[in-house]
């Protein structure tokens, strides 16, 4: 069985990959100063967890839905570079991301598809090993991926969904509420470092970052609302989704 994504696992990964993480944080700071469009858009702990999970799981095919100006894309590509293996398949309805991601990271490692993921699924790789979703944050889009994308992926695939726990609870009919219903129906636990939802976890990781000298902020925010989980062995549709 692959390791459960929980606080112990994330702490272990911070310690294991501390030096590489410090190096990538310096590079990201530098990318930002040389390309102001490539600015921190996701909070530090959540992007670092993305990097660490990719280092731990060494996926061959990572799928990213929603790239913005490429901050998270650059983090993901840095993890694949440090792994020495893996390919990223990104999708966005806008086409500006390729102008901002450092080209030395993209060679042979990145395929960008310009278009709505709902009409470009033919461009998904034959096998997805890791999935990140940070696209339209509304119930309509969440229904689509919960019904049509997640059930097509292999059991235990690690999944990250952004922007779920900006607050302690998820308001009804939002993306976060639908995802929570789906996870409950599928008896699937999730991990979050959200300051609002999981303050003790959030505090523990900030303390660890202090201890490891990784605390100087790239992004000024501390919400970290993303959630992380592994797909269950069999997915069941949630009746309300």
Ligand X SMILES: C[S@@+](CC[C@H](N)C(=O)[O-])C[C@H]1O[C@@H](n2cnc3c(N)ncnc32)[C@H](O)[C@@H]1O
**Binding region for ligand X (CB under 6 A):** 41-42, 65-69, 71-72, 91-94, 116-118, 134-136, 141
- Nearest 5°: the CA angle 217, 28, 112 is 130
The SS3 of residue 111 is strand
CA torsion 31→159→132→172, rounded to 10°? -120
Query: Residue 70 or 208: which CB sits closer to ligand X?
Result: 70
Q: Hey, what long-range contacts does 115-121 have (CB within 8 A, 24 or more apart)?
A: 115/91, 117/65, 117/91, 117/145, 117/149, 118/144, 118/148, 120/91, 121/148, 121/149
Q: Least distance from C-beta 218 to ligand X, angstroms? A: 12
Residue 69 burial by Cβ neighbours in a 10 Å radius (0-12, 13-18, 19+): buried
Query: Residue 83 or 93: which CB sits closer to ligand X?
Result: 93
Q: Least distance from C-beta 110 to ligand X, angstroms? A: 14
Q: Least distance from C-beta 17 to ligand X, angstroms? A: 20
Query: Residue 20 or 116: which CB sits closer to ligand X?
Result: 116
Query: Residue 94 or 156: which CB sits closer to ligand X?
Result: 94
The contacts of residue 194 (CB under 8 Å, 6+ apart) are 164, 165, 166, 202, 223, 224, 225, 226, 227
Q: Least distance from C-beta 185 to ligand X, angstroms? A: 23
Q: Least distance from C-beta 205 to ligand X, angstroms? A: 19
Query: Residue 12 or 109: which CB sits closer to ligand X?
Result: 109
Query: Residue 75 or 190: which CB sits closer to ligand X?
Result: 75
Q: Least distance from C-beta 77 to ligand X, angstroms? A: 12
Where does 19-94 show beta strands of DSSP type E? 61-65, 87-92
């Amino acid at each position: 069985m692959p390791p459960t994504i929980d606080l112990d696992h994330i702490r272990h990964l911070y310690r294991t990959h501390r030096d590489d993480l410090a190096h990538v944080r310096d590079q990201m700071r530098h990318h930002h100063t040389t390309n102001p469009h490539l600015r921190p858009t996701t909070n530090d702990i959540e992007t670092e967890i993305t990097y660490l999970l990719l280092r731990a799981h060494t996926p061959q095919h990572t799928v990213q839905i929603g790239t913005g100006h490429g901050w998270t894309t650059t983090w993901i590509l840095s993890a694949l570079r440090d792994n020495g293996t893996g390919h990223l398949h990104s999708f966005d309805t806008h086409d500006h991301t390729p102008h901002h991601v450092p080209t030395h990271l993209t060679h042979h490692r990145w395929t960008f598809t310009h278009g709505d993921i709902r009409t470009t699924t033919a461009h998904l790789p034959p096998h997805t090993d890791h999935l990140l979703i940070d696209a339209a944050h509304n119930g309509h889009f969440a229904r689509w991926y919960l019904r049509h994308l997640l059930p097509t992926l292999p059991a235990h695939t690690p999944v990250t969904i952004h922007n779920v726990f900006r607050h302690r609870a998820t308001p009804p009919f939002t993306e976060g509420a639908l995802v929570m219903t789906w996870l409950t129906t599928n008896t699937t636990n999730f991990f979050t470092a959200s300051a609002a939802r999981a303050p003790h976890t959030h505090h523990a990781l900030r303390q660890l970052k202090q201890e490891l000298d990784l605390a100087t902020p790239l992004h000024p925010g501390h919400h970290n609302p993303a959630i992380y989980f592994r797909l269950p062995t069999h997915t069941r549709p949630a009746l309300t989704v």
